[in-house]
């Protein structure tokens, strides 16, 4: 098998697949990329058995064939090659791959493709289209609320659910929640109507796919076990988390008694300053509300105290609420830079965070006992 392709095109594709390749070395072959040469095309595949990715490139192919090459080895080589055409020649008898670029020559050992797992990308007859910018925005606004708790895998991802013709996405770790609805032309999909959990690694692969295809339409398809996303030449398959998601609706207050509004940047800057004096483990700060005034404070016995008063629009009852400053900053960061709204019942109930410029979004922060 012999083919020629521009180094930078091949390098970028290999680098894109590196994040899919299995880092745990559970099976040697999972640290390899399957390369398949077809008439005028080069197919590159990687999988860790949970996430799979395939990229199709245009190439000058003389003889067809396929092999598996160590992902890190070929990435290291391509990184050091000049940006010109590179020739790949697979020597079947030696199980080796010759890499030639000008006067530069490498020969590396490869494996036969029969050891590589079959990678399937489902037919997308019932797929729906989603603009990459919209999916990227969804991920940006919800991913901060995903859990890192390995004991609760069902929270280690984003929940996708079809509600009528809307796509709802939710993430929560039990301390904060982020939810956004998107109006798109969705046909009835039983799996999506029941809701599916896309794991964290799959979410980050979707994010990368969106960043590489800004402004392009993605095709999305969901069945009972997988979610697929694809552009013209890049395909991603993600195994869904086979668990039921938490009843996230239970933590969203049906109604709230008090509302305050404040400029986002003013609020964030103050929280950052006061956080300096918070406990390093709890990041605890206190927010005291009074008539048109907010007082943010923190006390650290080993360091000292901090306090700042802010003017706000608030006419509710006086109360003092504890927050994890880091969680609060994460929730505020995804909102537009203008006035934000906090809806409150009391010192112990969930606090709803909204923006008038983002009507289909809401965030939830659980108060912290200090």
CA distance 345 to 232: 49
Per the model's pLDDT, the better-predicted residue between 164 and 324 turns out to be: 324
In the structure, what pLDDT confidence band is assigned to residue 124 with cuts at 50, 70 and 90?
low
pLDDT band at 186 (very low <50, low <70, confident <90, very high): confident
Check residue 63 and give its pLDDT.
Answer: 83
H/E stretch holding 171 reads strand 166-172
Domain ranges of the chain: 2-115, 128-249, 252-365
Tell me the two tokens of residue 96: 């080796």
Equal CATH topology for 128-249 and 252-365? yes
Question: Cα 21–197–329 angle (5° rounding)?
Answer: 90
**How far is the C-alpha of 138 from the C-alpha of 180, rounded, in Å?**
7
Q: What is the spatial distance between Cα 83 and Cα 342, in angstroms, rounded to a whole number?
A: 53
Residue 245's region, left for phi above 0, alpha for psi from -120 to 50, else beta, is beta
* Distances in whole angstroms, Cα of residue 340 to Cα of each of 21, 98, 284, 363: 41, 59, 21, 11
Please report where in the chains the tokens 């000292």 appear, as a residue: 304
pTM: 0.92
Other Cβ atoms less than 10 A from the Cβ of 306: the count is 18
Does residue 75 contact residue 15 with C-beta atoms inside 8 Å?
yes
Q: For residues 281 and 197, give the distance between their C-alpha atoms in angstroms, rounded to a whole number.
A: 30
Q: What is the pLDDT of residue 185?
A: 77
User: In CATH, what is the architecture of 252-365?
Assistant: Roll (3.10)
Contact by Cβ (8 Å): 112, 95? yes
Q: Which superfamily does CATH assign the domain made up of 128-249 to?
A: DNA Polymerase III, subunit A, domain 2 (3.10.150.10)
Residue by residue, DSSP assigns 36-70 as EEETTEEEEEEE-SSEEEEEEEE-EEEE-EEEEEE
How many whole angstroms separate alpha carbon 6 and alpha carbon 281?
Answer: 50
Q: What is the pLDDT of residue 10?
A: 97
For the stretch 286-323, pLDDT in tens is 999 999 999 999 999 889 999 999 999 999 999 999 99
The whole-number pLDDT of residue 122 equals 67
Residue-level pLDDT at 119: 85
Number of neighbours of residue 161 by Cβ within 10 angstroms: 18
Domain 2-115 has CATH 3.10.150.10: yes
pLDDT of residue 125: 65
Res 221 pLDDT > 70? yes
- Whether 136 shows a pLDDT value over 70: the answer reads yes
Q: In this predicted structure, what is the pLDDT of residue 123?
A: 64
């Amino acid at each position: 098998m012999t083919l020629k392709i521009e180094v930078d095109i091949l390098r970028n594709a290999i680098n894109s697949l590196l994040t899919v390749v299995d880092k745990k070395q559970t099976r040697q072959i999972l640290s390899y990329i399957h390369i398949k040469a077809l008439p005028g095309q080069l197919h590159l595949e990687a999988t860790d058995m949970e996430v799979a990715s395939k990229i199709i490139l245009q190439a000058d192919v003389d003889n067809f064939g396929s092999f598996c090459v160590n992902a890190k080895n070929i990435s290291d080589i391509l990184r050091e090659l000049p940006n010109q055409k590179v020739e790949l020649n697979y020597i079947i008898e030696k199980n080796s791959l010759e890499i030639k670029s000008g006067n530069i020559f490498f020969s590396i050992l490869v494996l036969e493709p029969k050891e590589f797992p079959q990678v399937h990308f489902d037919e997308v007859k019932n797929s729906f289209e989603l603009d990459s910018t919209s999916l990227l925005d969804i991920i940006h606004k919800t991913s901060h609320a995903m859990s890192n708790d390995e004991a609760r895998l069902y929270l280690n991802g984003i929940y996708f659910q079809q509600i009528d013709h809307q796509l709802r996405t939710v993430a929560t770790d039990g301390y904060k929640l982020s939810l956004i609805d998107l109006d798109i032309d969705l046909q009835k999909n039983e799996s999506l109507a029941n809701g599916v959990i896309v794991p964290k690694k799959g979410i980050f692969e979707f994010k990368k796919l969106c960043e590489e295809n800004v402004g392009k339409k993605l095709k999305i398809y969901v069945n009972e076990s997988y979610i697929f996303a694809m552009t013209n030449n890049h395909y991603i398959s993600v195994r869904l988390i086979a668990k039921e998601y938490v009843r996230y609706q239970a933590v969203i207050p049906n109604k709230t008694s008090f509302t305050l509004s404040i400029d986002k940047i003013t609020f964030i800057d103050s929280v950052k300053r006061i956080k300096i004096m918070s406990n390093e483990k709890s990041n605890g700060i206190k927010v005291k509300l009074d008539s048109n005034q907010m007082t943010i404070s923190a006390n650290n016995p080993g360091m000292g105290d901090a306090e700042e008063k802010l003017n706000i629009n608030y006419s509710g009852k006086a109360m003092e609420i504890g927050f994890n400053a880091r969680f609060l900053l994460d929730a505020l960061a995804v909102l537009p830079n203008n006035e934000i709204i906090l809806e409150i019942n009391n010192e112990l109930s969930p606090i709803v965070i909204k923006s008038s410029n983002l009507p289909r979004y809401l965030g939830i922060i659980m108060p912290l006992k200090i």
